[in-house]
Structure 1
Amino acid sequence: MTEVLLSLGSNQEPYRHLQAAATALRDTFGPVRFSPVYETAAVGFDGPAFLNAGAWLDTDWDVYRLDRWLHELEDALGRKRDVPRFSSRTIDIDIVFFGDAMLKGPGNLQIPRPELKHAFVLKPLTDLAPDFVVPGQGLSLRALWQQHPEAGAFYPAGHYALV
């Protein structure tokens, strides 16, 4: 089994789409843990705020099968792929870590995800797995978060939780 950490985000009916993704993940992979949900401004474009969360699951699937399945889930939840990359979306689910793998491609698949530099990806994953050591960096998520400029000023949206 491989430990997988995912980043989830939505700014179109965000709670509904995050909850639908959480249900599909649990239905497929069994026990899945979710971080608190964070509300953040859109990055890279002007648009409604996002709700973001992290997920931790274990799988015996390979990374490519998981990536295909996640894209199919995004599509089933209304994700549009004929729009600019940085735009509003019903759901975005990225594999941030797949065990200790480091890889690029095909397509936009890159592990670890470069978006880890953003608080909306790093903080939820730190909540889930603070001692997880980032492949290629040798630092734990906790250590990365403690160095982040938004550490200490980034709080969960208390009225949302993935159940």
Structure 2
Amino acid sequence: MSVTALIGLGGNLGDVRSRLDAAIGTLGSLPGIEVTSCSRFYRTPPWGNLEQPDFVNAAIAVETSLSAHALLDALLATERAFGRVRDGERWGPRTLDLDLLAYGDAVIDDERLAVPHPRIAERAFVLLPLADIAPDTVLPGQGRVADLLTAVDAAECFPLA
């Protein structure tokens, strides 16, 4: 059985665009994951800790035969492979951030995983790229991606050429 999952990507340390492209390639090469679409890349201001470089963000859709938790494990392993160290700092600078935003129409909320991601509706840096690839997707408990995007301030987010 295959499920469509939506994944947010970002980073703000080093050559982020190249790293995001490489991470997408890595994810697509893993057994049980096929990348089916990729958004544009966006330059976005930092969230939370404002004393750090701007981010580059994107989103991908994948078809996967992995369970949600196995997909999360693959995302975390990919982050580590690209130099991500999770040191407990929330919203700090990072080489690579991979977030499982949605897993089909599943609603999961346990100690390891919350999908749909609980803060999607607040974040232009997630909604802009997500709207590129899945504008009509309805996130359980949150709404349609395109509608959510109209409710956030995306004025400081810019697509990259």
Question: Does the CA contact (< 8 Å) of 1:25 and 1:32 recur in 2?
Answer: no
Gaps of 5+ in 2: none
Whole-Å separation in 1 of the counterparts to 2:28 and 2:108: 26
Paired-residue identity, %: 34
Structure-2 residue corresponding to 1:30: 34
1:110 partnered with 2:114 = yes
**Which residue identity does 1:157 align to in structure 2?**
L
Q: Is the 8 A contact 2:44 2:158 kept in 1?
A: no
Give the C-alpha shift of residue 120 in structure 1: 0.3
Question: 1:145 — aligned with what?
Answer: 149
Q: Is 1:63 the counterpart of 2:68 in the alignment?
A: yes
Q: Matches of residues 1-163 of structure 1 in structure 2 within 5 Å? A: 1-13=2-14, 14-28=16-30, 29-45=33-49, 46-107=51-112, 109-116=113-120, 117-137=122-142, 139-150=143-154, 154-158=157-161
Structure 1: where are the runs of 5+ without partners?
159-163
Contact 1:35-1:124 at 8 Å conserved across structures: yes
Q: How many residues align?
A: 155
Q: Deviation at 1:82?
A: 2.1
Cα distance in 1 for partners of 2:79, 2:156 equals 30
RMSD, matched Cα: 1.6
CA contact (8 A) 1:115 1:121 kept: no
Whose strand proportion is higher, 1 or 2? Answer: 2
Give a deviation string over 1:17-39, Cα, whole Å, max 9, x none. Answer: 21111111221223431100000
